[in-house]
Amino acid sequence: MQNLPKPIRRLAPLAALLAAVLVIAGCGTSSPDIARGRVLFTSKCGVCHTLAQAGTTATIGPNLDDAFAAAREEGGFDSATVEGIVKNQIDNPRPSIGNPASYMPPHIVEGEDADDIAAYVGKYAGVPGAAPPKVAGAEGGGAQVFANNGCGGCHTLAAANAGGTTGPDFDEVLPGQSEAEIEESIVDPEAKIAEGYKGGIMPQTFGETIKPEELKELVKFLSENAGKSKE
């Protein structure tokens, strides 16, 4: 432990305690569902946090990869330790520090939902090379771009098996829109806010973070598939 950076040394005893509590609490219960945890994370947490494996890029809350990468590299934290810390943060989030917009309410998820999310983040946060799973048959097309950028965490789209509810249902709002209109809603989400929804939620950086060719593929995928299952 003496070779660890000071911040990690200070956290190590707490992390070890949290991991032990997690192991004890888990005795006699079913194992967390990592796949379900990913779905829950993208819909419940991805609107605030960046996590590479989830494809989320929000900056309201801490970047979870940055938060745990150094500790993993130094060998101070393993997946169980990260899982315990995340579960504790869900139950007892840090104070808002004067910025209510960045405050996470306690128990935003509970029970099995919290267990599954904590286990998922514990497995992937800060892990080098972590990336969204490949979409079967996508071959790097728009469906994969949709998955990579965590769109399903906020939006419903039957063609992508996405059921997010933070943002508009794509199967409802996109049919009839031109590709230019769809692209504008991605790169400039504040230009036109869908009825019933608030502005300032969707990241405004996709115009920079999504490569032009991938943006074109995403727009085409949305244009061709939105509302398809409801025809």
CB atoms within 10 A of CB 94: 11
* Rounded Cα distance, 126 and 139, in Å: 26
Give residues with Cβ within 8 angstroms of 75, minimum separation 6.
4
If one compares 141 and 95, the residue with the highest pLDDT of the two is 141
- From 137, 178, 150, select the one nearest 40 (Cα to Cα): 150
**Does the pLDDT of residue 210 top 80, yes or no?**
yes
pLDDT of residue 12: 47
Q: Which domains does the chain have, with CATH numbers?
A: 6-124 (1.10.760.10), 142-230 (1.10.760.10)
Q: What Å distances lie between residue 24 and 32, 91, 116, 123, 133, CA to CA?
A: 14, 17, 16, 19, 31
**Does the pLDDT of residue 113 top 80, yes or no?**
yes
Bridge partners, residue 162, by sequence:
157
Give residues with Cβ within 8 angstroms of 110, minimum separation 6.
none
* Rounded Cα distance, 226 and 208, in Å: 24
Mean pLDDT along residues 65-85: 94
pLDDT digit string, tens, across residues 134-174 = 876 555 689 999 988 888 878 899 988 888 888 899 999 99
Mean pLDDT along residues 110-134: 94
| Average pLDDT over all residues of the chain | 82
pLDDT of residue 29: 55
